[in-house]
């Protein structure tokens, strides 16, 4: 845990803030594209907004984006989505266990081909 906390000392908070705001802008685009990710990454001129003291803490969405997102969620079978996510999570955890075991054994995938 100590090394992990030390690594975070080197992270620029402004970089995290920019990334989080970009993520929020992208989420709006994904909602409006009904889950598709073939959108252009929006730019909000964060540097200029920060310099002028007008950088928001979070990105607002229009009523249209909210209604679209609400409609998309309402169309989903949440029980099915939950089951699918549970199965995927279980598979991911199994793979994580396998990789952890391989790391303990010290098998290098590149060496295995030789």
H helices within the chain, ranges in order? 2-9, 13-32, 46-51, 63-74, 78-105, 109-112
pLDDT mean by block of 10 residues, the chain; 114 residues: 74 92 96 93 94 95 97 95 96 93 75 58
- Residue 111 is predicted with a pLDDT of 60
Q: Which pTM does this prediction carry?
A: 0.66
Residue 24 to residue 69: CA distance in whole angstroms: 14
**DSSP designation for 113:** T
C-alpha distances in angstroms, 43 versus 12, 48, 50, 113? 20, 11, 14, 45
- Residue matched to tokens 């409006």: 32
Residue 31 to residue 78: CA distance in whole angstroms: 17
- Residue 31 is predicted with a pLDDT of 96
Three-state DSSP class for 62?
Answer: coil
């Amino acid at each position: 845990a100590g090394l992990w906390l030390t690594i975070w000392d080197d992270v620029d908070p402004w970089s995290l803030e920019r990334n989080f705001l970009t993520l929020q802008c992208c989420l709006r685009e994904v909602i409006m594209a009904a889950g598709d990710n073939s959108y252009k990454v929006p730019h909000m001129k964060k540097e200029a907004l920060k310099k002028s003291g007008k950088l928001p803490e979070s990105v607002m969405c229009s009523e249209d984006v909210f209604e679209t997102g609400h409609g998309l969620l309402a169309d989903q079978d949440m029980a099915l989505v939950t089951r699918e996510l549970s199965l995927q999570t279980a598979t991911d955890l199994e793979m994580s266990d396998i990789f952890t075991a391989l790391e303990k054994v010290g098998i290098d995938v590149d060496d295995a081909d030789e």
